[in-house]
Amino acid sequence: MEIKIQRRYTDYSSYVKKKFGGRVQKVSINAGFTCPNIDGSKGKGGCTYCNNNTFNPEYCKPIKPITQQIEEGIAFFSQMYKSQKYLAYFQAFTNTYAPLEQLKKKYEQALKHKDVIGLVIATRPDCITNEILDYLEQLVRDGNFIKLEFGLESTNNKTLELINRCQSHEDAIKAFDMAKNRGILLGAHIILGLPKESKKDMLNNALELNNLPVDTLKIHHLQVVKHTMMAFQYKQDASQFSFFTLDEYLDLVIDFLEILNPKIIVERFFSESPEHLLIAPKYGLKNFELVHKIEKRLQEKDSWQGKLFTS
């Protein structure tokens, strides 16, 4: 008989169950936005690692109305889970990068759906304004759940420049400062294993996150996927990339968690791109399988999130 391992980190699923009293599923939406490092306002070509097709479900097409995308997403997930509510997840590209009136129209289309109880909005820290935040704060006051996810990717400015992120860590600090204390759940996204980052650099991300009002965190490992600048760089000179073995990645995540503020809710450790797009590394694991290995490794090492955290 398998013994259930007690979680030694602050996990997102427990937070959701406590807050909503049951299961809540995110339904992805592609609302047709772009990014400032794609349209030329800051840069061109986008982030070197980015291919939105690696995480967009098939039903997410910007030519489809938002309501249709939600309906198709609900139809997909309701086959597995009959009774649940939904969060409309504005995921593709930068979802606050538009005039406020345009944002309102798209967000409110999603909120009108009878089964949608809130929004999850993925964006960049340099694409947020007080005007947008005031509006999101009002949505919270009106009884909606609002989660704002900032893609930091790294807290190292040299790395951000190298991956053509066209933002700085100072942008992140400013964005979190503007967004805090508004009732909006604030998320951050970090990639471990970006080119030329040492283990010390990667662990320093945890220290920097501890200084921000971060509520939730998604951790991803670096993946080289097809149809990206990074794929071209990898083909030209693979030596500039250094990938973890699975055991090395598990140990890195444990070290990262030990430093991380235990109040930060960890939403994800890992996400593997579709096989037909993924170039490297290939672990051949699903998210839940990696979570199980991390929980087991934490137990084996008698470790936990925040073990080395100092306020």
pLDDT digits (tens, 9 = 90+) for 260-311: 999 999 999 998 888 889 999 999 898 899 999 999 999 999 999 999 998 8
Residue 16 has what pLDDT?
A: 94
State mean pLDDT over 221-242.
Answer: 92
Q: Write out the H or E segment, with its range, that includes residue 90.
A: strand 85-90
Mean pLDDT of the chain: 92
Residue 272 has what pLDDT?
A: 84
Burial (0-12, 13-18, 19+ Cβ within 10 Å), 39? middle
Structure tokens at 181: 């204390």
pLDDT at 5 over 50: no
- What are the tens digits of pLDDT across the range 171-202? 999 999 999 999 999 999 999 999 999 999 99
Strands 224-225, 278-280: pairing kind: antiparallel
How does residue 4 score in pLDDT terms, banded at 50, 70 and 90?
A: very low
State mean pLDDT over 141-163.
Answer: 97
φ, ψ of residue 29 to 5 degrees: the values are: -135, 135
How does residue 76 score in pLDDT terms, banded at 50, 70 and 90?
A: confident
Going from the N-terminus, what domains does the chain have, and what CATH number goes with each? 12-300 (3.20.20.70)
Answer for the pair 217, 192: CB distance below 8 angstroms, yes or no: no
Contacts (Cβ under 8 Å, ≥6 apart) of 134? none
Residue 94 has what pLDDT?
A: 95
Residue 59 has what pLDDT?
A: 54
Closest to 7 in 3D by CA, of 301, 294, 230? 294
